[in-house]
Chains A and B, each alone.
Chain A
Amino acid sequence: MCMLLLACSPAEKHPWFEDRTDQAGVSFVHQSGAVGNFYLPEIMGGGIAIADFNNDNHMDLYFIQSGSLDTQQPPKSNELYLNRGDGTFILQEKSGSEDTGYGIGVATGDYDNDADVDIYVTNVGPNVLLRNEGNGRFTDQTEFAGVGDPNFGSSATFADFDNDGYLDLFVVNYIDWTKERELECYDYGTGIRNYCDPTNYDRPAQDQIYLNNQNGQFTKVTESAGLTEAYGNGLGTVVADFNGDDLLDIAVANDRTVNQLWINQGSMQFKDMSIVWGSAMDDQGIAKAGMGIVARDFDNDSDPDLLVVNIEGETDSYFQNEGTYFKVATAKIGLAQVSRGYTRFGTLLEDFNNDGELDLYLANGRVNYSTESEVADPYAEENLLFMRDSTGAFKHMPDSLNILSRERIHTSRGAATGDLNNDGLMDIVVVNRDEKPYVLMNKTQNVHNWLQLRLFGDHGRDAYHAKVTVTTSERSITRIVQTGGSYLAANSPWIQFGLGESRGPLRLQVNWGDGSIEEFNRIQPNQRVVLLKGGKSKEENLAH
C-alpha cells in the first residue's frame, strides 16, 4: 500500500535546480523584436555559451541577443557575463564581444590555438568570429578570417575535421530567408496569424564548412567537401566520431527535411550517409521537425549514440550506434511518450545527480499558437527533466522534482550546461524568448561521487572531441569533450563523471582523437582535474 502511495504522490520534495538568475547578477533579457510582422527568425532564437573566457578557471556566460529585424529600431548586443568565482556574474561591458547582428546561435573554440576560447556567432545576416585576446577582450576577425556567412545561421560548431591540430568550423543554415521573402501564414485550426512552417518557404539553406588555414584565416570548402550534395532546413548540429575511425563526423538536425549524417572520408571529404545509417528519418519514416541534437554514449558501449528532439506531436528520435549503422530505439529508452506533447529545442544530456547515468533536460516552447496556454505567452511551455533509471529508460520527473513547473513557463530555446560554481554539479542556463534566462543552479543532494576533467592537447587548447573512459571497480563510463550539440548553444568543455557509490582510485584512458591513447592511474574522485597530453595531470581543487 505504501508503495502505491509513493508511486502516485510527489515523493521527491527536494528540487534538483534552483533558479538563481537574479541572485547571479544576470540581467540579460532576450528580445525577439516581434511586433506582429511574424518574421520567422523571431521565433527561433537565441543562444547561450558557457565557457571560461578569461582563463580564471570559472565558467562565464555569453548570451546571444536577437534584437529587431526592423532597421528603424536601435540594435541590441550580445552580453558577456564574467563569473566572480562563486557562481555569480558581472556584466563585462565593452569587451568587444557586443555583436549587434540579429543573433541566433553560438559556438566556442580556440581556433587560433592561443589557449583562450574564441566565439563564433550565427546571425540572420553575416555571422561573426570574435577572437579572444587573452583577457576576456575580443576583436572581430570575421572579415580577415573569411567566415562571415550571410545567411540565416542557426547552430555552429568548431572541430578539427582534418586532424591538423587546428579547429575547422561547421555552420548550419536554416532557411534562405529575407524579410522580403516572408510569407503570411495563419494557424490551420484557429485561423490566427502565426509564424510560417519552414516548408511554406521551400527554401532550405546550404550549410557551410570552413577549413582552418592555420594562420587565423579559413577557406570555405563546402563544395569540395561534398556538402552541396544534401542540405535541409538545418537547426541543430553535433560532431562526433560515429564510426570510430578517428575522423570527426557531423550530424545535422533538420526541420521537416531529412537529417544529414556527414561521415568524414578523410582529406576534408564528407559523404551524407544518413539514409544508410538510418538517421535521416526515424522509425516513423518521415522527416520530422528536428531541432535539438546530442551525441553521447547512451548504452555504455563507448561509441556515440544520437538523440534528435522534435516538435509537439512527434516523438524524439534516438539512434543507437551499432558501429556501421543506427538502430532506432526511442521507445526502448522511454522517450516516445511524454516529450511528444512539447516542442523541444535545447537538449542537455548530463549526469545531473552524479549517479552514473545521463539525465535529460529539454528546453521547450511552441512555434504554434496555443489558445489554451496557461500563461500570457501563447508559445510558452514548461521544460522537462528526465532521470535515467537502472533499466536505462528515461523517467519524466514529477513537477515537484522539477522546479520548472507552473511558475516557470516561458518559450525556451537555447540551453547549455556547465558547473558554474565549481561544486561538482552541472548547472544549466536556458535562454527564453523575450524573457529573462534561467540560471539554474544544481541543488541535488550531492551524495554521489564524481570527477570533473578538462583536457588540454598538443596546442595548449581544449582537446575537443577527445574520448575519456573512467574505470572504477564496478564499471566503465565513457564521455567525450564536446561543447557543441543542444540547440544554438555551447556547453562547458569540462566533462562530468558521476560515479554513484564508486570510490577511487580511478583509472582513466584518454583517446586524444588523433589515434594516441594515454592512461592516467590512481586518480581520486570528487575533484576537478586537468589532464595534459603527455601524461601530466593537475588537481584543480578538492571540492568534496
Chain B
Amino acid sequence: MALCSCLLWCVLAQANTNSEYHECPIDVSLEKVDEEVKTSLTALQNTAASREVVDLGTLGMAYEMNGFPRAAFSCYVECEQLEPSNPIWSYFQALLHAARGETASAIERVTHSLSIDSGYAPAWMWLGEWNLELNELESAKSAYENAYTNGEKEASQIGLARVYMAMDLPLKVINQLADLRGSEIHPYVAGLLGRAYQQLQDSEAASEFFRLATNSGIPGWYDSRSMQKQKFSFSISAQLGQIRAQLKSPLDPLTLDRAENLHRKYHTYKGTLTTAIEANRLAGNIERVRELLNEGIQQFPDYALLYELLGEFHIAQNDYSAAKKQFLRAIELGSEEPWLYIQLGIVFLQEGQTETAHSYFQGAIELDATNPLPHYWQGLIHFATGNNEQADQSFRESIKLDPEFADGYIGLVKVLIKQSQLTEANQLLQQLIELGVDLTEVGVFQGEIERLSTVHD
C-alpha cells in the first residue's frame, strides 16, 4: 500500500510539473496569438466541445503547432484515455516530454507506444536517441537495432555508430559506417568517421573526414505521425514559411493563389507583400508585380527592400535609368546590399560615369570583401581607361576570391595580352579550359596569342 501511495505521489508530482490542465482545455486564452491562429484554433476548440477523440486529438496537434505545448499534452493524455489502443497518443506525449528535457518520461511513453505498435521504426529511433541522452548505451543499441529491423536502415546505422562512439569503440564506428562512406558521404557521417579515426590516432584519415564534416545535423528520418501535425500550423509566419518554401520556378499555381490570398487578407504585413511579389515574379505576372510594388511603396514608403525590388524590376525591363532612381532611394533608406551597389556601378558605367561607377563597386567591396564581382568590374574600368597595372590587380583579386570565376580569368588574359605577357596568358587559358569555358572564346584568345608570339619572334 505504501509503495502504491509513493508511486501515485510520484506520478501526481510529475503530472503537476508537466501541466496545469486536468483535461484537454478547450478554452485556452488566444488573446495574444495572431488572427489566423486565433480563428483556426477557436473553430477547433468549438468542435472539440464534443470531447470526441478525433476532435480532441486534432485540437491537441493544433495547440502543439501553434505555441501551446502544455495544452497539447493534456489533449493527448485525454485522447489516450479515450482510445488506449492507438499508439499515436503516447507517442506524441513522448515527443513533448523530450522537448522539455524529461527524457526518462519520454522513454516511458514511447515504450508504451511501442507496446501497442512495435513496427513503427521512428519510435525505435527516438527510443535510441533518448537512451543515448541518458547514457543507457545498451538500451540505445537495442532500440536502433529494432529500428533497422523495422525498415529505418540508414538513420539507424548512424545511430548505432553513435552508440559505439559513446562506448569508445572507434573501430566498430568505422565498420558500422562502411556502407555510408561513398562519394556522397553525409557531412555528419564524415564527422563521426573523423572522430573515430582521431581516437585511433590516425590523424591523416581524421583530417580527410573533418574537411567534409560541415554544419549539417544528424540525418533525419521520416516520421509520418509527426508530419500530420504540420497542416495545423496556422500562424501567418508559418503559412508564409510554407509558401516561401514552394517559391521556385516553375511555380505551382496553388502557391501563387495562397500567396495572393494571404496578402489580400493580411495586407499590412510586409512579409505577405514581398511573398506575393516574389510569387508573381516567378509566375511571370509582370504587371501584377509592378502593381504590388507601387501599392507597397505607397503603404510602406520607408521600406528599402521595395525600392530594391522595383529597381530589379526595371533592370529586367532594361530601364536602367528608372532602376538607378530606385536603387539610390534604397541606399538612402539604409540598404546595405552589396549587389545593389554592383547594379548601380553597372548602371553608372553604362552612362559613361566611370568614376562614380568605380566608387559604387568600391562600396560593394566594403560591404562584402568576399565577392569577386566588384573587383572584376573595377578591373574592366581600369582596363578600359588604360590602367593595366590596376586592372591586373583587380582581376587577380577576383580570381583569388573565386578560383572558378571565369570572367576574372578572361579579363586578366586580356590585360596580359596587352602587356605581352603571353606565357602566363597561355597558362590562364589552359586553366579556363579546365574550368569548362566555351572553347570558341578560348580559341579567339589563343589565336591572338599565337599571332603576337609570331610577331615577337
Contact = CB atoms under 8 A, between A and B. Distances in A.
Interface of A: 1, 4-5, 8-9, 180-181, 184-192, 257-258, 275-276, 278, 280-281, 283-287, 313, 315, 325, 327-329, 331-332, 334, 336-342, 369-372, 393
A313 B100 CA distance: 7
A9 B9 contact: yes
B342 to A, nearest CB: 18
Contacts of B238: 188-189, 191
A371 B67 contact: yes
Given A181-B334, A190-B32, A285-B191, 8 more contacts: A186-B236, A188-B233, A257-B215, A285-B217, A313-B99, A331-B135, A332-B166, A336-B134
16 contacts: A9-B9, A181-B336, A187-B67, A190-B32, A191-B238, A192-B33, A275-B210, A276-B198, A283-B165, A285-B218, A328-B195, A331-B135, A334-B135, A336-B134, A336-B135, A371-B33
A190 B71 CA distance: 14
A340 to B, nearest CB: 4
B37 interface: yes
Nearest to A194: B237
B270 interface: yes
A8 B10 contact: yes
Contact of B6 (A4, A181, A191, A192): A4
A185 B237 CA distance: 8
B3 interface: yes
Contacts of A185: 237
Contact of A284 (B199, B217, B241): B217
Nearest to A258: B215
A76 B257 CA distance: 50
Contact of A371 (B35, B68, B99, B103): B68
A191 B34 contact: yes
A5 B104 CA distance: 19
B213 interface: yes
Majority secondary structure of chain A interface residues (helix, strand, loop or mixed): loop
Contacts of B166: 329, 331-332
Interface in B128-187: 132-135, 162, 165-166, 187
B210 A189 contact: no
A9 B7 CA distance: 10
B284 interface: no
A340 B99 CA distance: 7
A192 B34 CA distance: 6
Interface of B: 2-3, 6-7, 9-10, 13, 32-37, 65-71, 99-104, 132-135, 162, 165-166, 187-188, 191-192, 195, 198-199, 206-207, 210, 213, 215-218, 233-238, 241, 270-271, 334, 336
A189 B67 contact: yes
A258 B214 CA distance: 9
Contact of A186 (B34, B133, B162): B34
List the 8 shortest-distance A-B pairs measured between CB atoms, nearest first: A191-B34, A191-B235, A341-B101, A189-B67, A190-B67, A340-B101, A286-B217, A336-B133
A285 B185 CA distance: 14
Contacts, number: 142
A334 B233 CA distance: 34
Contacts of B233: 188-189
Nearest to B195: A278
B101 A337 contact: yes
A63 B175 CA distance: 54
Contacts of A325: 195, 198
Contacts of A181: 334, 336
A1 B162 contact: no
A1 B65 contact: no
A1 B192 CA distance: 45
Given A188-B238, A331-B166, A5 B100 contact: no
Contacts of A339: 101
A423 to B, nearest CB: 33
B237 A186 contact: yes
A43 to B, nearest CB: 17
Nearest to B236: A191
A336 B32 CA distance: 33
A143 to B, nearest CB: 24
Contacts of B66: 189-190
Contacts of B101: 337-342
Nearest to A9: B9
B207 A287 contact: no
A287 to B, nearest CB: 5
A405 B12 CA distance: 18
Given A8-B10, A336-B134, A372 B34 contact: no
A281 B99 contact: no
Contact of B33 (A190, A276, A280, A393): A190
Nearest to B207: A276
B71 A331 contact: no
A2 to B, nearest CB: 9
Contact of B133 (A1, A188, A281, A315): A315
Nearest to B303: A184
A313 B96 CA distance: 11
A315 B99 CA distance: 10
A82 B285 CA distance: 68
Nearest to A393: B135
Contact of A275 (B68, B133, B213): B213
A5 B8 CA distance: 11
A9 to B, nearest CB: 7
A281 to B, nearest CB: 6
A5 B34 contact: no
Contact of B241 (A188, A257, A334, A370): A188
Contacts of A328: 195
A151 to B, nearest CB: 15
